[in-house]
Structure 1
């Protein structure tokens, strides 16, 4: 009987702890869109939103001046956001930190969990900031690729903050 109580207690703990360690799948959440105006092309599968557009899906928040949503029979395939700049944020992991991104154009592919930041691109997470002409970011694998412009005049820049250990070591030596 005592072993049965231990097993039941363990199962109850596992059931309660599960939601604490897993982030809800943003792709499975509904997409909420607010704007000043919208136009839908049913045959073409596109909807254009204009004027202070706000998109929310789970932990994802997108702000832009103009957004075009491309749909297929399987749902939303791509979202293109335009702004000066447009902004994107998402919490990819419950125990992680917020990803903050911006670009004059943001292409978001919900099914692939990927974003492309184009023209004046910037991405920040955990104090690390990368800027460039284009940044491709895979949210699931946390892999990013950054590119400068074709002329090479606007190079990629990256800021990496010191680790907490390095900060405390610097204080001790000063």
Structure 2
């Protein structure tokens, strides 16, 4: 998996929802009801979305749903990364997505599922575990499905 389009972070964030409540003291805005967030190629859908805009968590988005979904194009001409979980936390500053509870991430036909999946965009790294940070989901297995095309080695050219 690779990084998101470089221009995504430079794009404005657009959020639509049935309702929104802003708390200036905490720097949080809660959006409820058929929430959709878009920023460039990033698209998040959720039942509830909280946008944290304060010093300690600049650019932190928490989305919950059954499931909440995330889709983002990693690079020009590549298929989008598709992710789903009951809770998605997107740390824009840290360039990291954490999927919790019934987590699933898919790209180019490869699928990873588990209780928790961490996806670090800048390092192109996915880590999956069978339990959540609070110990829930213990006993759930991590599963990875790799399509045959991903196992093929690039052919050497005749030079």
Comparing both structures, which one devotes a greater share of its residues to helix?
1
The answer to whether the 8 A contact 1:24-1:58 is kept is no
Q: Is 1:158 aligned with 2:139?
A: no
Match runs of 1:108-127 below 5 Å:
108-127=90-109
Specify which of 49, 66, 90 is matched with residue 72 of structure 2.
90
The answer to whether the 8 A contact 1:69-1:76 is kept is no
Flag the structure with more relative contact order, 1 or 2, with Cα contacts below 8 A and sequence separation at least 6. Answer: 2
* SS of aligned partner of 1:163: helix
Distance of 2:15 and 2:57 partners within structure 1: 15
- The two structures have a TM-score, normalised by structure 2, of 0.84
* SS of aligned partner of 1:141: coil
Question: Which residue of 1 is the match for residue 156 of structure 2?
Answer: none
* CA-based RMSD: 2.2
Q: Report the number of matched residues.
A: 145
Specify which of 44, 65, 71 is matched with residue 62 of structure 1.
44
Distance of 1:136 and 1:92 partners within structure 2: 16
Distance of 1:165 and 1:125 partners within structure 2: 14
